[in-house]
Amino acid sequence: MGLVDLGHEADPVLTRIVEEDKVPWYKKRNLRYLYFLLCPTCMGIEITSGFDSQMINGLQFIPSWNKYFGVLVVDAAGKETYALKAELLGIVAAAYSLGAILSVPFVPIVAQKFGRRWSIMLGSMIMVLGSILQGFAVHGEQVQEVPRNSI
C-alpha cells in the first residue's frame, strides 16, 4: 500500500471504464493533444529553474555582492578580496532546491488532508513568505539564519 490511502473514494463506474480501456494514450487524439500542450509547460518550468539557479550562481562573481555579504580574506596571490564563508555560500546555492527536497515527506499528507487546491495555495503562500523574508534580509547573517530557523 502506498503512503496515502485513497480508500474507496473513486467512482466505481469511472474505475470500471478505465480498467476496460486497453487503447494506449498515444493512439488517442485528445491525450496526444493534451501532452503536446503540457510538454512546453514542463519545459518552461525547467528553463526558469535553470535561469534562477544560474542567477544565484552568477551573483557569486559580482564584487559588490561579495563585499556586502562576504568577509575580507587574503587569496593565494596575497591580494585582499571579499568572499562568502563556505557555510553561507553552500546554503545560498542549496536554498533553491532545499525547500522542495525538505517538503517531499509532507506533501502527500497535506494533499490528502486539505485537497490539491488548498495544498497548492499553502505551498504558494510559504514561497511568497520566504521570498519576502529573503528580500528584506540585508545582512549575510540574516540570509543564513532564515533557512536555518525555518527547518
Residue pair 44/100 in contact (Cβ under 8 Å)? The answer is no
Per-residue model confidence as pLDDT tens digits over 30-86:
989 988 888 887 777 777 777 777 877 788 888 888 888 888 888 888 888 888 888
Give me the helix-helix angle, 107-114 and 116-136, nearest 10°: 130
Prediction pTM value: 0.47
Looking at the DSSP bridge assignments, the partners of residue 81 are: 73
Domain ranges, ordered by start, for the chain: 85-151
Compute the distance between CA of residue 149 and CA of residue 151 in angstroms, rounded to an integer: 6
Compute the distance between CA of residue 63 and CA of residue 83 in angstroms, rounded to an integer: 9
Question: Exposure of 84 by Cβ count < 10 A (0-12 exposed, 13-18 middle, 19+ buried)?
Answer: buried
- What percentage of residues in the chain have a pLDDT greater than 90? 4
Residue 8's pLDDT band, with cuts at 50, 70 and 90, is low
